[in-house]
Amino acid sequence: MKKWVSMAALGVALFSSCYNKSRLSQLDHGPWEYVQVAVDTTAITSYEEYDEEMDWDFTPRLVIGITVDQMRYDYLTRYNQDFFMEPGGFQRLIHEGVSISNTHYNYVPTYTGPGHASIFTGTTPAYHGIIANDWYDKKRNALQYCAKDTNVVGVGTQSEAGKMSPVFLRTTTLGDEIKLADAQSKVIGISLKDRGAILPAGRSADAAYWYIGGQEDVWATSSWYGMTELPQWVKDFNAKERGKYYLNQTWDPLYPDSIYNESLTDNNPYELPFKGAIRPVFPYNLSELAKTNGQFDLMKANPFGNTMTKEFAIAAIEGEQLGMDDHLDMLCLSFSATDYVGHQFGPHSKEAQDTYLRLNQDLNELINYLDSTMGRNHYLLFLSADHGAANNPAMMQDRKLAAGYFVSDKLEEMVEGKLIAKYGAGDWVINESNQNIFLNRPLIEQKKLSIKTVQQEVAAWTLEMEGVHSAFTHAELSYAIEREGLSEKVQLGFDQSQSGDVVYMLKSGWIEYGKQGTTHGSGYDYDTHVPFLMLGNTINAYPWPHQENADITDIAATIASILKINRPSGCIGVSVIDEE
């Protein structure tokens, strides 16, 4: 068996080298050093020699789950040649690891909170309970943030931003299953966003840390994790004031202008300038912009926020000694600056491209660090995204493509008016959010009306609004029937106890947002198609037979299979690799 695997490994190495050289020969800047980083095949004279030199211990000691906030899959292909400017990073994940190229979200809405939860639970909002970033709480008649918990206090901050926890998460995560298998394992979550750190790590995590911002240049956590003060390594990192350091920098393009030919010209009409700036154009004086953009909040909206996140992640590995013993640990790491930049400037902006080119550097440094500290055999790294992003509708319209802007307030007014006209005065619509319409059920009962009938009427009226593609009633979504296409995605995002009386979807290209920048949330390809990359551990030992199509819920199932642990409790996914 050992010789068979070594022959397979040698074959993969030779194929990888030839493939990379073939790709690199097409580039005019030809960074051949990537081939040396990938595999030095010149030293291999026979499989027996390779067999002796290989480390055959594949005991996993650390699994690193990376989420890149708002990363569309096409960034991998659109910026492919530019990623070669920094050998390693995304190119290494693609060519040395495994890339499942057709991975999609199988539900709506495609938001940050549900996306992070789904990757690590292997299930959808219908089961894990995180149905949006914020949702209308019927019992409290108020909006509920997905990570807000008034029963905890911040640790490392006294602000409201510290009162966060995974209290609304209903199923286990990969990290929870790791800790159930070995109580001495550690699980840590890290992100600029609280929900990006908290939800992936799960309810039993040892800690989740997020960046506070505003007037506080600190990483903090909450009392949910059993702490009363920050660990010393976190205090030491905060003392370095890395946010202050980076806000004293100027954000210039990383490379010459010719590299950014995949993006629109700088200062185009589809980008939103920073507050206090006249135009959205490089260079950006961050220290000046911080004065009008929330001070340290600006760290979340420029690529240096990702670099600081990487630095904090390395500090966590060292401070917690993750992966340094025989107990499997997990680090859940989310890069959030890509989302803030994407929202503000859009997916075809020079700023977005530069943010990904800089993230490529950060990934390369992180992977090299893991190689040098624990060896490639002993870590398993996977990367995906919590959602994609829509093309800017104004840009689409200028190119005569179907797109538009939706205003939900007009829909609410129209529905309210029609209900009053038919059934009399009353506050018929108590909330509209996340493309869910919540009706006043006590009023409907008081008028002795059929809730199903009123839902059907509201759904029919909703379809009259320009930009609406489809509408579903609570009653019909509550029936367990097999659906296909977009309606199946609505079904998998629907929660009987939390969702609205009517759920609707917009047409392709339509968003509810300002005329500049972009957003996400739909079930269309631009929002659902995301990367799924794996590197390290047995991924690099021999070729895994794998499929190219996957649902986002398959990621947790796949990682659990590789690690030989139980799948998360609500997991509906299947492994994309064949281990036989």
Write out the catalytic residue numbers: 112
- How far is Cα of residue 218 from the mean position of the Cα atoms in its chain? 22
Q: What is the DSSP string of 217-262?
A: EEEEEEGGGS-SS--HHHHHHHHT-HHHHHHTSEE--SS-GGGGTT
The continuous run of DSSP H or E covering 281 comes out as: none
Cα 173 to Cα 190: distance, rounded to the nearest angstrom: 15
Q: Does an H or E element contain 420, and which?
A: helix 408-423
169: closest CA among 227, 123, 136, 212?
Answer: 123
Q: Are 222 and 162 in contact (CB under 8 A)?
A: yes
| The residue to which tokens 């007009």 are assigned | 410
* Residue written as token pair 């027996």: 48
Residue 224 near residue 368 (C-beta atoms within 8 A)? no
Give the chain's radius of gyration (CA, Å): 24
On the question of a cis peptide bond just before residue 109, with omega within 30 degrees of 0, the verdict is yes
Structure tokens belonging to residue 209: 């840390």
Strand order in the sheet with 529-530: 529-530, 102-104, 549-551
Long-range contacts of 285-290 (CB under 8 A, 24+ apart): 285/250, 286/246, 286/247, 286/248, 286/249, 286/250, 286/251, 287/247, 287/248, 290/247
How far is 65 from 87, CA to CA, in rounded Å?
21
Q: What is the DSSP string of 478-497?
A: TS-----HHHHHHHHT--TT
369, two tokens: 């660090």
Return d(Cα 248, Cα 245) in angstroms, integer: 5
What is the rounded CA–CA span in Å between residue 415 and residue 226? 47
φ/ψ bin of 89: left (φ > 0), alpha (ψ from -120 to 50), beta (otherwise):
left
Please say whether the beta carbons of 188 and 313 come within 8 A.
no
The DSSP 8-state label assigned to residue 546 in this structure reads B
What letter represents residue 512's amino acid?
A: E
